[in-house]
Structure 1
């Protein structure tokens, strides 16, 4: 029977740590992860988008979590075509002159992928790696050149589990859906379904296509009406939302349907602030368990 794993997109977010969700005595790095892993069976590592992962952290994460726990790891920004600060690169890979942004040539991308993947090897060999999440930028609109880039970027991770999230709404518009499903299916990558506020220019339709038999992924970004804004100070506001059980109930039905088509479904909450994400994840677990308790994964 397919498993449904529910969790959040970070366990280290400062607002979550400050919220009091972590018990006293379990607020250091080790205590937080060990406590989180008693409550949820999956988590997303988003810090690897902003900076390269370390081998040491991967070893510690594997040691501090029980068998069956999964880490979904977000690909480094340079590996998905996002602007990347030179300071985010290892010192020996930074271009001379300290430019603000890095120009990604084929050689640099090859070396960055090699170091990125090598650092994650302990998660992979220990069975803790859920998937690599390739989130593409909102300006990557569908078309032949964009499809070529998606194939090129995800192709570096051949042999690794990969999930793809598109931020440009056009990929999941009705007239484009079939082509997007064919593309991701041909690449063997899982499609990421998203929940955001609808009716905005940046709103991605909540399409729940399953494009890989191994895994399907859903990410809940909240329903802020500022979604997609790039105004100063808008980042937190874009994700600020408290989900209600009424909002989650329709999604529970969609997730169960996805689980009939994939071996596993990862449901991850990216809304903020304070403990909003963990409370939403707990509510989703309860909602799913009411209908099919044996399908919802847990960590003992």
Structure 2
């Protein structure tokens, strides 16, 4: 498959653990990761969105995976402008955070610098071991195109200078016809890789399935499922979708086109309901292998 790596978003999702995909004897933390890494070459770590990671976990992740395996790591919520609970921060930073503005995008730059320093420091063992794929900056659905949003993204780029960053926009206007060229130029100029998404196209919030390449190093595709409950209901409602072979086949020429323009393509399944994501990832690996043959 060349530079195409397929995996899922989160190997510790409770629904996946309960599904029975992990065999008996491989259900502890170490066993799950080792079993997963035998079957897929990449995974997205999303727990880092909810709380700052630890260097110890990075060391364990690196030790439990083979050379060539990669972790895409989701950026902490406050760094991407999402609402963040004070309890999600280390205890010594909570007082400063509690005094700050309600809009996370206007948080104290010194506080954000400290959070970024701790976040990146915790990931340094992963990076040093050659296991870091990309940092995923998933911006909130209310971040619409405009000068203020571009300024915020520019500040994120300054803070992450030297790190591999992939950007997913949740507001559909970024990739609509009249703004797509400007969005592509913005990310290219900042050295950030664009994330393509698959999701239902029947909602006002649906992001178009475009596949721009804004970094020669990396392109990312995230499959969210095609539930029409996107943005509403429980997590299970939002992500409940079992991809058919026909739906995955639609993406083969798009993924091959990405691989022609970027050194590495990460294809990640986020339809985390039971074992739906790993089953879709397995099927996609088979389809890509057959296409190569």
Q: Counterpart of 2:31?
A: 31
Report the TM-score, using the length of structure 2 for normalisation: 0.96
**138, 162, 173: which one aligns with 2:141:** 138
The answer as to whether partners of 1:2 and 1:262 remain within 8 angstroms in 2 is no
Superposition RMSD on alpha carbons, in Å? 1.6
Cα distance, 1:97 vs structure 2: 10
The match for 1:296 is none
Provide Cα deviations, 1:25-45, integer angstroms capped at 9, x if missing partner. Answer: 000000000000000000000
Structure 1 position 163, deviation (Å) = 0.2
Could you tell me which residue of structure 2 aligns to residue 298 of structure 1? none
Matched length? 290
> Which residue does the alignment assign to 1:243?
243
Aligned to 1:190: 193
1:278 maps to 2:291: no
1:184-216 deviation per Cα after TM superposition (whole angstroms, max 9, x unaligned): 000011000000000201100001001100000
CA distance in 2, matches of 1:216, 1:97: 34
CA-to-aligned-CA distance 1:16-63 (integer Å, 9 cap, x gap): 001110011000000000000000000000000000000100000000
Q: Deviations over 1:220-260 (max 9, x none)?
A: 0000001122xxx4332111100001000010111011000
1:158 is aligned to 161
Any conservation in 2 of the 1:227–1:239 contact (CA below 8 Å)? yes
| Structure 2 unaligned spans of 5+ | none
Look up the SS of the partner of 1:212 in the other structure: coil
Q: Would you say 1:200 and 2:203 are equivalent positions? A: yes
What is the CA–CA distance in structure 2 between the aligned matches of 1:119 and 1:74, rounded to whole Å?
A: 13
Q: Measure the CA separation in 2 of the matches of 1:28 and 1:87.
A: 27
1:39-98 alpha-carbon deviations (Å, 9 max, x no partner): 000000000000000010000000000000000000000000001000000011002796
Distance in 1, matches of 2:50 and 2:58, equals 16
User: Counterpart in 1 of 2:5?
Assistant: 5
- Partner of residue 85, structure 2: 85
Tell me which residue corresponds to 1:125. Answer: 128
- Residue 41 in structure 1 maps to residue 44 in structure 2: no
TM-score (norm 1): 0.94
Q: Does the aligned pair in 1 maintain the 2:13–2:272 contact within 8 Å?
A: no
